Each structure stands twice: as C-alpha cells, then as structure tokens.
Structure 1
Amino acid sequence: MPQYLTPGVYVEEVPSAIQPIAGVGTSTAGFIGTVAQDVTMPLIPGRSGVKADGTTKEPADFYTRAADGKAVLVTSWDVFQRNFGKLGAGNSVLGNAVYGFFNNGGSRCWVTSVADIATVENVKAALTGFAAIYEIAIVAVPGAVSAAVQNAVLDHCENQYTQDRFAILDGQPTTTLTKAGIQQCRDSSYGAVYYPWIDLGLKGSDGAVVYQPPSGHIAGVYARVDTQRGVFKAPANEVIRGALGVQTLLSKADQAGLNPDGVNVIRQFGTNTTIWGARTMGGAEDPEWTYISSRRLFLYLRDSIDRGTQWAVFEPNGPDLWSKIRRNVGAFLTTVWESGALLGDTAAQAFYVRCDETTNPPEIRNLGQLVTEVGVALVSPAEFVVFRISQWSGPASS
C-alpha cells in the first residue's frame, strides 16, 4: 500500500474485480488434403514467367508450393492458390473444399497438405500440427471416408488438450441408404456426418459428373451461421452455395431411415441444395448431445471460460477470489443468455454459477484446487415443427 505523509485527499486507481471473458472464435477450420507435387502454381505479380531466351519457364517467377506437413494460415482463396496451386487435377478435392469454405461464408482456415489422406499416419501427423493452433474449431479431411482416418479426426477433437473442436465428416459415396453403409467410423458427439456428395458442375474426361465431398462447403456454412446468428443456431435449413445438386436424390421417406441414426442428409429442394439435418453422431447412448448446436455451444462456453479465467491461477484461494469468479463468469453467461443462446425468461433461469465454501471445502483447497460449478440451460433446435389442425365451427352466437 502507498505511504501517505501529508494530509490531503488522494485518489488511487483500483483494478476492477471484473475481468471480462471474451468469447472465443468458433468458425476457424482446419483442413487436411492432398496436393500433387507438380501442381500448377500461380505467377508472382510483375513477373513474366519465362527466362531471358523466351522459350522456357522461369521457376523463380512462380509461387512456391507449401511443403507437406506444414500448417498454413489461409485467409482467402488467393492465399490458398499462392500456397497450394491453382484449382485443377493437382488439388481438385482439397481446392474445391477450401473454395467452398470461403464461398459459403468462411474467413479463416489452416490447411495442411499430406502425401495421401488415405494413410492414417499422414493424417495423424497433420492433426498433431493442428493441436498447437488454438483457434481451430472445426476439423475436416475432405474426401477421407475410411473408418481409420475419420476415427483419428474424432480422437483429435475429443483429446483432453484439444477438446474444443468439432469434426465434419463426409459420408460414403454410396447408394446404400443405411447408417452402416454411409457412416463406417464410430459414434461421437464431437462430430457430424453428411450425405450425399454434391455436384459442383465438374466433369471427368468421359463427360460424367465428378461429385465432390461436402465437408468443406459445410464448414463454410457453419462459419456463415455462426457470424449471422451465433454458434447456438443449428447449421441446417441452409443452402450450400456453389452446389448444383447431389449424387443421390433423397426423399422424406429416405431421410426417415437416416436422421434418427445421426446421418445429416443434404436434400435437393428445387434449385437449392440444402442441409437438412443437424445431429451429431452421439447416438442413442449420448442423447444429451443429439444436436450439433448444443455440442458446439458447449464447446464455445467451456473454451471461453477456460481462457478467460487463466488470471485466477495462483491467486489466493479464498472468498475474495470466489466472488470475482462468480462475477466474471456470470457476466459472460449473461451476455450469452441475452444473445438468445440459453433457455429462460431470466438469467437466473438460464444459468447458475456456484463458487463458494461448498464447492471449495478445506480438503479441496489443500490440494491447490479451486472448484466452480456452472450450469446452463441450452436451447435445442426446433427439428420437428408440429401444427395441430382441426375444424372449428366458429364462435358461438350470443
């Protein structure tokens, strides 16, 4: 404390007990894919691309392809091309996925190229690189449909050190309309699977449509919905920009056999290719996390509170600290409730924060721990909108 020697009035600055918790980002994606070594790279602006003799290419005039295994921050389609080449045979699947991400509303993603996405060791190495990039909230390996690779992505999202991520998985490009035929990886509330693949207007040498995996485009839809509405809004009943159709047209009856099993169907309604499902792969054994929006909102809350309360580490563990924790977390959750993400007419109905002597008895404090209990009432999407209609003879005459 300062020492006062002369009589008078002294004004001191006192740090506020409220240290605002900032919400973390929810829409930065991490993509893993394959890029050919001889992919066509774009020309550096101002360069000619040819040597002095005018007959051969000048390699130094072109951008250099990013090395395999290196995570690159991509903030636009142009940045992607400067690192991974022009869209074409050399990076068709990954390139179309990233283009679809930006076209559907994405703004930031990290991209790692590997030699072969079908080799689980390659994908695991890339995921290890993603672990240190804290802003990644969505993970996708466009076109990877093997159970081993998809399970590796789910393991990454569920890991205790990266337990703030959600996996978007591509269903099998099949016409077998069963969960076992479409989803061959294990169930997990940390991921969602989408079916069928989509038509982007690409055709092979034989003139047949070359369908593309939807995960990159859907990651962009997640980002768009997060920005326009919030992470608590289910990323469904949303049009996939750039998609002209689907590989397999599905009816309402077809979806009735897939939706309860957590397979999110992409439906064609007129000219619109629309995401018509909002479920995780949590399964019947994990009904608390049936919906994507519930799981992703909870990830957002958990990560935001985690990062926003790091200042409390090594603070004296007593009533003053407990009070600050309650105020800080309560202020953050009030903002979340006001956005419409939590259920309740009042903040008290929407959440509670308990941090006092009941959660921190002497035996807990002696272990160096501070325990706070937080409960939130999540809003579930209106997946089934039901109207009950009956005949009415009109008001009785007086």
Structure 2
Amino acid sequence: MTQQPTPGVSRQDVFPQSAPSLLTGVPAFLGRAAGGPHTPQRLTLWPQFEAAYGSSAPGFLADVVRGFFDNGGLLCHVVRLDESRPTPSAALQTALDELDRLDGDVDLVCAPDIVTDPLWPTNGLLDPVVDQQQMLLRHCRERGDRFALLDGIPTTDTAKVMEQSGKLTGADGAFGALYYPWLRAPGGDGRLRPLPPSGHVAGVYSAGDQRFGVQRAPANTEVEGVVDLQVRLAAADVGTLYGQGVNCLRALPGRGVRVWGARTLAQDPAWRDVSARRLVGAIGRWVERFMAGLVHEPNDVRLWVRIMRELTAYLDDLFQRGALKGRTPAEAFFVKCDHETNPPEAVEAGVVVTWIGVAPTAPAEFISVRVIHGASGVTVDAG
C-alpha cells in the first residue's frame, strides 16, 4: 500500500538573484605587436594573446599582458597599434578611437609602449612621452568612466620622474595615476628585462576589485612575477615622489615587491585618492547602464520616486560594503530627484535631473606609532 502525502504546508527554498553589478578592474592595453588585428580583442587567458598576436612582440605589450594575468587579472582588451600611421601619436589616437567605440566593461587604460627604450637616458626627450600620456588622460576624462595607468620613464634620475608628473598634473590628472620605477621580470624568452609596471599594476587593480571592491585602494599589495626593481628607492625618495603624485613600487625585505601608493595626478584634493576617483566613475557607469531602462517613461513624480528608490538601494549597498564613509546612510550619501531638481521647463524639455552626493572612504596612508619613554619603562601607542 502506497503512503499518500498529507495535505498541508510545504517549504520551498528560493534563492533570488543578486542585484546587478558592473565588472571593474578591466584594462585595455594599447601597444605594439608583430601581427594580429587592430580592433579590440577580449581576452580572459594569456594563451588567447599568443593565439592572436604571438608570444613575442617588438615592444612591451606581450609582457605586460602576461604580467596582468600573473597578478590575478580577470579580463582585458587588447588594441594593437597601427604602426603604419605617420606618427606614434597618430597611431595612439587611432587605437583610442577604436577603444572609444567599445561599449564594454573597460575602466582602465594602459599604453606600455609609449616609452619604448628601456635604457632611457637622463637627458631623454620627455615631451613626446608626456604628450601621449596626456592623450590617455584626456580620453579618460572625456569618457568619465575610465582611468589611465601611466608608466614613469625608466630612469634613475627621480627629478626627471617628478618633472614628468608635474607636466601631467592638470585638469585631466584626476583620471590617471603614475607608477615608478620599472620592474625587472622574465620576458617571453625567460631572460630578465626591464618592464613598465602598468600591466602588473593593472592585475593588482583587477584582483583587488574582485576580492574587495573598487573602493579598496590598490596599494600595499605584492606584485607577482617580478624578480626586482630597476631602481631601489630610499624611503626619503619614496616620500618625495609620493608628495608629487608618483606612486612608487618598493622591494620590502621579506614582503616582496609591492605597490606603495594610490594617488592620482589631480591638483584638487577631492580627487587625490585613486579609490575615490574610481568609485565615482563606477557609480556613473552603473547609473548610465541600469537607468537606461527608464528612458521614455512618463516624466512625472512616479518616475522621480522610482529613480530615487533604485539609486538609494544601490548607494546603500555600497555603504554597507564599506565604500562610503559615515555612521549612517544619511551621512554617506544623498539622492534628490523632485520638483526642485526638475522644474517645469526641464520636464517640458524631456529631461530628468537627479542630484547625487557621496562621501568616499579615504585610505589610511599614514599610521602613527608613538613610543613613550617614562620612568616605568617604554610604552608603544599606535594611533
């Protein structure tokens, strides 16, 4: 005799989908290769680069892409420079135009072959390098959602690097960071060679974003696949360079080579921290991507309430994950979309205006430890 089920209440576990999010820490590498397409190629593994462009290249592109994946990079795009263009700047602009048409997840931009000579003389011409790096910064600023990782020139003269930083500091400087010195790492043939740091640093950005989120400063993280640095900097030099907006890499005893800085090239203190600039860029990307479904909705109070509800939920999630500072959500952000932001003339024009304010968290750059000598002994007080 078969036992019949008893009528009643049963439980069914349902796991709702998580809220949509954007992938960050996705670089586009613009550089030289012996062959392959000039259009952007999406790569998730190093062998895909070898299949598309070969394992060796006339510049640094292959090595920096390998360094990206060695450091935990998840996804990148590669654009091969068209060296048939009349000048390096023209080739770079053509690649940026290709990248501008890419409607994807790219939020980082690296061009490691801007500096092509690893034996850069101290009297080398700096202006051509700066001109092309300014092109990258301008591209990121005009987009508003990308960030440039720039390579310092490979010199032992730190004054030249500070000169480079000074020339890059300006209106576009908030959209990029400068890294120095160069790395010593195995190339495609297994022999050590000097390499620009941007590819390995991009991997650090990507791995940090996956683990912690875009709000985490990409610093004090060990760089994998590196044997040494081209220049060993003294602590005083690191401090001087950092004060000029140069993010140094340091070889620390027992801790390997580490990224030791997370500052942009901005003059405005509000945009000094890499994490703040990238967080605001990520918020802008989310608004553009996930608010696209509201286009052509009736422009009335119901739409405004919906916008405020969705934006508030998104920003509250950032607050809960520690991306925004404040004891309460009200201290961390605000969203305003009402009659004040949308007067009759704006409504008649079919425009919806929303004001958003956020307070990004700031990294702890300096940790003070007080050593107090007294009659009872020595007390160490960290504050």
TM-score (norm 2): 0.83
* Secondary structure in 1 matching 2:257: strand
Summarize deviations over 1:106-158 as a string: whole Å, max 9, x none.
11111111244970111111111111223111100113141121111111111
Tell me which amino acid in the other structure corresponds to 1:275. Answer: V
Q: Provide the C-alpha distance between the structure 2 equivalents of 1:337 and 1:28, rounded to a whole number of angstroms.
A: 23
Matched, 1:275 2:259: yes
Shift of 1:177: 1.1
1:18-97 matches, within 5 Å, as 22-37=20-35, 66-67=36-37, 69-86=38-55, 88=56, 90-91=57-58, 93-97=60-64
Corresponding residue for 1:122? 91
Could you tell me how far 1:22 is from its partner in structure 2?
A: 2.8
Instruction: Identify the residue that residue 147 of structure 2 maps to in structure 1.
Output: 166
The separation in 1 between residues aligned to 2:178 and 2:245, in whole angstroms, is: 8
Superposed CA offset, 1:324-383 (max 9, x none)? 111010011111111110111221221111111111121222222111111111100001
Q: Judging changes above 3 Å, is the alpha-carbon distance between structure 1 residues 165 and 203 closer, same or farther for their aligned structure 2 residues?
A: closer
**1:233 counterpart (216, 227, 244):** 216
Instruction: Please state if 1:321 is matched with 2:300.
Output: no
Paired residues for 1:97-246 under 5 Å:
97-116=64-83, 119-133=88-102, 134-145=104-115, 146-159=129-142, 162-178=143-159, 179-183=161-165, 185-187=167-169, 188-202=173-187, 210-246=193-229
Which amino acid is 1:174 matched to? Answer: T
Unmatched 5+ stretches in structure 2:
1-17, 116-128, 377-383
1:335 has 2:317 as partner: yes
Q: Pairwise CA RMSD of aligned residues?
A: 2.2
**Structure with more strand by fraction:** 2
- Please give the per-residue CA displacement for 1:37-79, whole angstroms capped at 9, x wherever unaligned: 4xxxxxxxxxxxxxxxxxxxxxxxxxxxx23x22111110111
Q: Equivalences for 1:367-378 in 2 at 5 Å? A: 367-378=349-360
Q: Residue type matched to 1:348 in 2? A: A
Question: Which runs of 4 or more aligned residues in structure 1 lie more than 3 Å from their structure 2 counterparts after TM superposition?
Answer: 115-118, 179-185, 201-205, 391-394
Relative distance call for 1:224 and 1:203 in structure 2 (3 A) is: closer
Q: How far is 1:221 from its partner?
A: 0.5
Q: What residue number does 2:327 align with?
A: 345
- The answer to whether the 8 Å contact 1:200/1:245 transfers is yes
Helix, strand or coil at the partner of 1:200? strand
Deviations 1:210-238 (A, max 9, x none): 21101011000000100111110000001
Q: Please give the residue correspondences for 1:291-306 in structure 2 after superposition, counting only pairs within 5 Å.
A: 291-306=273-288
Q: Which runs of 5+ in 1 are unaligned?
A: 1-19, 38-65
Q: Of the two, which has the highest radius of gyration?
A: 1
Shift of 1:30: 0.3
Cα distance change, pair 261–184 in 1 and its aligned pair in 2 (3 A) = closer
- AA of the residue aligned to 2:307: I
What residue identity is the alignment partner of 1:200?
A: A
Aligned equivalents of 2:274 and 2:293: distance in 1?
Answer: 31
| Aligned equivalents of 1:22, 1:139: Cα separation in 2 | 24
Q: Percent identity?
A: 35
Q: Distance in 1 between matches of 2:227 and 2:163?
A: 24
Q: Match for residue 294 of structure 2?
A: 312
Tell me the secondary structure at the aligned position of residue 210 of structure 1: strand
SS of residue paired to 1:211: strand
Deviation of the 1:389 alpha carbon: 4.0
Q: TM-score, normalised by structure 1?
A: 0.80
